[in-house]
Structure 1
Amino acid sequence: MPDIAHTPLAFRFPKPAPPAATYAQNTKEFRYWTAAEALRRGADFWAVVVPLTAWELGKTLPVLLDEGQDLNAYYDRKALNFFHGPSPSGTVYSGESPDVICHEMGHAILDSFKPQLWGAASQEVAAFHESFGDMSAILSALQLQSLRSDILSTTGGKLAQASRLSRLAEQLARLIHEPFRCGFSASVLRLGDGRGTQFSAARGTARFRYAGRFAGLGLIGGTAASAMGLRRAS
């Protein structure tokens, strides 16, 4: 069972916490445990590789799983904020997606490690922040043995090609992109293999963030190269 209070990177959810059990999707109990597991998994990974003793805002990072209707999620130096929105198949909650959850946590990790980047007047810095969030989602997902095995199986070991690992936030992406039909694939918010976009639904525009795309491409390519080297060595 994930311990959200585990340090050095602890989280705080609104109380009371639901009992550990199996819950249906689109329930607040399901959202709680999905977020708790994803955040604990991702934070435990980053705690080993980044020298942090606390979050930028303090010892504990608040998590707000349903802040109202909006196809959005963000970190704002106060909390991780998630929302819900309508879809043809029912309500979609951004806080039910481990990709979205670990992406937003990535912003908090980078802000805690390099706080001077927050709010910098630079598109390149903003792009890097987004890229770091994507890399956080990918690296957090890779901590799951079941996902690693599935990716190796479905790609035949060719990890540089598009897969469940590189396609980020598919369900939320379809809902955000559909009203605007901007002329690109609406299947994902971004592809970690370098073909993704940064989409601003509020402005109805799509912006390519090249630094973020190439950093994601480098991560997937490096992962593929490492896996190939391990396979040759074995």
Structure 2
Amino acid sequence: MAPSRLLFLLVLLCASGVAPAARADSTTASCILSRHDHTLPLEKGPCTFSQRQGNATVRFGRWAFDFPAAEQGRRYERSASSEGIRFNREGHYTLQVLWRPAAAAIAKPKGWAHDNFFLGRWQGQSTAGRAVIDVLTVEPNRIRWGNAINGICDSDYSVQQLPWGRNGRYPDQLVPPSTPSDLVFGVVRLTLQPGPCSSGDAVIQLANPLDGSSALEVVTYNAKGELIGQYGTFKALPRPTP
């Protein structure tokens, strides 16, 4: 096509109010997809993030996600940090788009992934534990709990190992023992990374008696270190079969 004719067509397009479509900004990232069903495994790997005029598209393996700007706050929630962007559809899934590699998990104490009685799936026994946390899933580099009504927490975490609670005592115990006890608790506090989840929880404390009873006790804090939830005892659930 002659340059003069091409210029003429562009002038006609602009005059009629039709402009050439703006190109979307695209970048390669790493994604983590967590369905809000504790029986389904995480999916992680490379993905492509595109955005144009606030409308985001994520292509991840066999999945293609569209997040129109007009539907933010209604169909999904979006939050951003220096680590990346998180899209959350309550009751469906959480999709994290990370600028750093997804495999770059937060460092854990030696032996955390192998010799660790906190790992597994735990069912809340108290009314609040069942209603708010439901099933707590602790994996070597991931922790998940919650539900569509009260919010889903799904995050990597750092680990602070507290001194073992002796004589049946440990920080923020729901019901401290009234008489001397030989019971010893292992206690850790896990700080969610890269930041608090949508429900405001930033730290979860786990206390497990070392008597083989598997009666995990759970406490949560907000980003200011204020205690915001005491949920009593959780019972270990069988691991799902493949």
Asked if TM exceeds 0.5, the reply is no
User: Normalised by the size of structure 2, how large is the TM-score?
Assistant: 0.31
Higher strand share: 2
Structure with the greater relative contact order (CA < 8 A, sep ≥ 6): 1 or 2? 1
Higher share in helix: 1
Bigger Rg, structure 1 or 2: 2
